[in-house]
Each structure stands twice: as structure tokens, then as C-alpha cells.
A and B are shown apart, each in its own frame.
Chain A
Amino acid sequence: MFDTGISSQDLMALWLTLRLAAVTTVVLLVLGTPLAWWLANARTRASLVVETLVALPLVLPPTVLGFYVLLMLGPQGPIQAVGGPSFAFTFTGLVIGSVLYSLPFVVQPLQNAFAGVGRELLESAATLRASTWDQFRSVVLPLSRRGFLTAATLGFAHTVGEFGVVLMIGGNIPGETQVVSIAIYDHVEAVDYASAHLLSGLLLGISFFMLLGLYAVNGRFRLTTL
């Protein structure tokens, strides 16, 4: 029988997913901005290696990534070995995994945006007496608006859609680590197609409208800036 209502457990999963995506996006923007700035300006062997590492989640199966993060965070992992807590099967653990998983989706748009600003305008700002931080704030940030919007949207949407990493690190604890994608998997396993439909449809809608908004806004920017 089709049940049209949404169960409280599914609501919890939905809320947890959105919370996870929001926290992850904020963390990624904070960490990703300096990292992307460095990658956009440095041309050293180290930056080449870091750039490759950042891109790895694009090609790696999420389970592989999740497996290593689990080893890092879990019991007997290096963090516990130095006296830290175990993050496995916790919300914090999910955030750490998601940050790694969505890293390229935030860093790459930012890096491209920063590189697009170019050295020339920064030199120009420097000869107009702007300090380094001032140059970043008054020239780089406003000219990278589209990059930030793209980075935030992709980071958020990609985190909402993650499955493998969460399953490896977080398991499937309702209200604690169970996200929508895993709840859907559970419903399908239990042949509860109605609930699977409802959650899948919701996720499809959320993702579609987020991307639609991104392209609409970026398209509008494009029309006015070129």
C-alpha cells in the first residue's frame, strides 16, 4: 500500500542531510578559500601534489575514501592513538568525511575564479596603495562572486547526494548518522517503494532547483558582466 505521509524517521534523515550539507559547505568555504588561493598562485612541486590530492575524490570510489577516513577516525586509528576521541559513527565524523568528499567541488571553482582575476589587477591595486589583504577584499572577492556561488552550491548539492562515504564512516544510526540517501536504500531493501519514491523525489527536486538557481544567477551575471 502507498503511504503518502512522511515518517518521522525520514524527516530526521532529511533534516540531518540538510544540516550536514550546510555545515560541510561552511567548513569547505572557510578551508577551501585559502587553499584555492594558494593553488591559484603557487607553481611549486608541492602545490602540484596538493592539487592532485584535492582532485582525487572526483575519481575515487566513495567507499575507498570512506574506508580510509574510517581507519583514520575510528578506534585504533591515528587520532585515537594520540589521545583524541573516536569520530566514527558520529555527526562530526560525517562532516570530516563529507569535507574530503566534496573538497574538489569547492576548491576547483574558487581556484578558477581566483586565477581568472589575474596578477595584473592585483599589481594595479598594489600601486594604488592597497595592502595584500585589501587587494583580496576589494578586488579578488568581488570579481570571484560567481566562483563562490558555484563552489557553495556544488559543495552543498554534492554533499546532499553522498552515499558511500557516509555509509563507511557513519553507518546508519537514525537521527545520528542516517542521511536521506541511506534511508532511501533502506526503504528499497525493505521493498517500501512509496517511502523511497517520496524521499527520492524530494532529493531530485532539491538538487534540480539548486542547480537551476545557480545557472540562472550565473547566467544573469554573465549577461551583465560581459
Chain B
Amino acid sequence: MIHFDLQLQRPGFHLQVASQLPPEGVTALFGRSGCGKTTLLRCLAGLESGAQGHLQVNGVSWQGNGRSLTPQQRPVGVVFQEGRLFPHLNVSDNLHYGYRRTPVAQRQLHPPEAVELLGLGALLQRRPDQLSGGQRQRVAIGRALLTSPQLLLMDEPLAALDALSKAEILPWLEKLHRNLSMPVIYVSHALDEVTRLADHMLLMEEGKLLAQGSLQELLTRTDLPLSHGDNALSVLAARVTGYAPGDYLMQLRIEGSGNDQDGGQLWLPCHQPPAVGTVVRLRLAARDMVLSLSPPEQASVLNVLPAQVLEISPDPHPAHRLVRLGVGQNTLLARITLRSLNALALVPGSRVYAQIKAVAVD
């Protein structure tokens, strides 16, 4: 567990955040630029000497009662936005920098494993100025992991990258997410990255915590700004259960959807299906959901989930309404027009069929 209650006073800015984070998984620190998320991350790393309050990681106090460990005393790994590789050292020496300074007994990851995990084998003799932005960030991640940290802090590691490099590095981050058990705090202002990587979320605004909880919960809470944009979406975890080769479709079962009769089945296009049993993350845009009162017949839509209307709330656009749906234990968000809402006479408690037009699979 990670407990903290930290404050930092700066001219014109006051940071005050208290939270408890689970000991594993990725927690997104999300908010607009200037909301204090990077500052909070720096406080956790011990890089802000003015930080007050306390911080406990796995039962060990890193800060509290007027005492504070220096950054070098904290078993923390930090990946900065710009990578910050040492320009006078090659990739191999950069990777070894923290590893060499980590007590032997604490080393859980070794350079050959990190090189394998992040695909750095061909880059070891290169200097940082000979790397692409994406490669540089992979080295920076490897370098931080090789100190075997108990907490990995990532400060917008993709923000300085172009779209291509981002697309190149995201799969590596997802792989890390699956392979490492250490808790990760991931600062970002890009909802797209967060919905692909995070399990939990701390939503920040002007130095304060606006909300915290599981990613699915926060994304579908209609009182939060996340659901208000055109890109409002929900996430689902689903397990691969089969494959129809002739149709290039894989069959998935939504996690937490109960028994088969609940209809928690989805068919999604794919070329090479992941192994049966793999859990993937689905992202469903609220604008791509169609609601009907009866199961559609003779329609081209493949995926229809029986759902219950939990809540109806206004959308920033007066023509739209946001409908929060319960599907098994999951919640989904649908954005429909006010006219459709009235035509179907939807109220909280209504049973509907949610037709899914498009899904992104990670």
C-alpha cells in the first residue's frame, strides 16, 4: 500500500493531496497542464524539498514527522518526460548507472532481462544522441527499472514524442504493465494513454484531488469532466474465449458479466487472435453505442449487450444525453440524442440492448 498526505506551498499555487493507492497496477495521475500532477510526482520522488506531510510505501515511512528521505535514499524509479539520459554514457552504461548503485540484495531485475523486456539489444553501444525519441524513453524506463524500485513514477513519458514514436512505445508500456507487479504512478494529460494503461485514477484539479477510483468508475461518472467531451468512453476487461478463423473474428467474454445467459459475449475482428484466456482491454466510445428496447433482428451489428439504465444526465451539448448503463458488474457510457431518449421513454431502471458499433482492443 502507498499512503500519502502531501502539501506544497508555492507563490500562487497550493498542492494538497491525500490518497491511498493499491500496491500494484498502474495509477494514472490525470488532469490539465498546471493542475499539479507533475509536482505531486516530484514530491513522491523526494525532488521537492518544500513538500510537507507524510508518505508511506509498503509500511516504510519515506517522509513524515519532519523527516524526509532524499531521492537517492528512496527505492523509487523515475522516468522523466524528456528521458534525461546521461549524454556522456552509452545505452549500456546508462542502464547500468542505477543498477550499479543498487545494493546487491535489493536487485530483482538484471540488465539482460531489462534489455530483453524492452528490446534494447541492438542499441547498447549507441549514445543517447543516436537514438530516436521512443528508443530514448525505452532506455530511460529500463534504467529506472534496473534500480528495482518499489514504486515507479512516470512523468508524461510520451508527451515529448511524435505520434509514430508514441505508437511504437505504447505496446512496450502495456507489456510492462502485464509483466511487472510493482505499482506505477503515471502522470498524463492524454486520456488516450490513460485509458490504455491505467487501472486506477487520481483526477486532479488546481492542486487538489477531484476524484479517485478505478478507471472504469471514473470514466463513467457523469459528474466528472471525463464524460463530458466528444471522446467520452468506457473500458471493459474481456477474456478471449475462441476464434472463428473463416470470419477473422475472435470471441470474447466480458469479465464480471456473470453466466452465459447474461449475454456477455462479443465477437471482434482480428487477424491473429491472442491465446485463449488472454485478458484484453476494450475501449468503447460513448458516441458509438446504440440503444434499443428489443434485441435487433436482421441487423449488421454483431455485438449486443443486455443492459440496464442506471442514470441519465445532461451532456454539454443540449441535443445529447449521457446514459450510464450497467452490464453485469460493469458500467458503460452511451451518448444518445434527447429525441431518442424520449422516443424510447428511457428512465433509470429501463432494460435496453446496447449495440456496439466499434471497439478498440488493446
CA distance A184 to B84 in the complex (A): 53
Least CB distance, A188 to chain B, in whole angstroms: 49
What separation, in Å, do the CA atoms of A188 and B80 have in the docked complex?
Answer: 64
Report yes or no: B86 in contact with A127, Cβ–Cβ below 8 A: no
Against A, the Cβ 8 Å flags (1 = close, 0 = not) of B61-87 are: 000000000111010111010101011
- Beta-carbon contact of A142 and B88 below 8 Å: yes
Inter-chain CA distance A128–B85, complex, in Å, is 11
A134 to B73, CA, bound (A): 13
Q: Is the interface of A mostly helix, strand, loop or mixed?
A: helix
Q: Using CB atoms, name the residue of chain A closest to B143.
A: A128
- A127, A142, A226: the one within 8 Å of B72 (CB): A127
Contact between B72 and A225 (Cβ–Cβ < 8 Å)? Answer: no
- B71 near A120 with CB under 8 A, answer no
Report the minimal beta-carbon distance from B187 to chain A, rounded to whole angstroms.
15
* Contact in complex: B101, A127 (CB < 8 Å): no
Using a CB-CB cutoff of 8 Å, which residues 127-172 of chain B contact chain A? Answer: 129, 143-144, 147
Residue B303 at the chain A interface, CB threshold 8 Å:
no
Given A139-B86, A143-B87; A128-B101 close (CB under 8 Å): yes
Query: Contacts A120-B82, A120-B84, A131-B72 hold; do A125 and B144 have CB atoms under 8 A apart?
Result: no
Q: Does B267 contact A (CB under 8 A)?
A: no
Does A130 sit within 8 A of B, measured CB to CB?
A: yes
Interface size class of A (residues with CB under 8 A): 10 to 19
- Which of chain B's residues 98-141 have a Cβ closer than 8 Å to chain A? 98, 101-102, 129
Q: Is the CB of B101 within 8 A of A130?
A: yes
Q: Determine if A127 and B77 form an interchain contact, defined as CB atoms under 8 angstroms apart.
A: yes
Q: Mark B23-64, 1 if CB is under 8 A from A, else 0.
A: 000000000000000000000010100000000000000000
Chain A residues whose C-beta falls within 8 Å of the C-beta of B70 in the assembled complex: 126
State which of A128, A139, A143, A225 has its C-beta within 8 Å of the C-beta of B98: A128
Partner of B102 from A121, A123, A129, A134 at Cβ < 8 Å: A129
Query: Which one of A121, A123, A129, A138 has the highest number of Cβ atoms from chain B below 10 Å of its Cβ?
Result: A129
Q: Which chain A residues numbered 144 to 171 have a C-beta less than 8 Å away from chain B?
A: none
Query: Contact: B84 with A129, CB < 8 Å?
Result: no
Q: Which residues of B contact A (CB under 8 A)?
A: 45, 47, 70-72, 74, 76-78, 80, 82, 84, 86-88, 97-98, 101-102, 129, 143-144, 147
Please list the 5 inter-chain residue pairs (A to B) with the smallest Cβ-Cβ separation, ordered nearest first: A128-B98, A126-B71, A129-B101, A124-B84, A127-B78
Given A127-B47, A127-B72: 13 more A-B contacts, CB < 8 Å = A120-B80, A120-B84, A123-B78, A123-B80, A124-B80, A127-B98, A127-B144, A128-B72, A128-B98, A128-B143, A128-B147, A139-B86, A143-B88
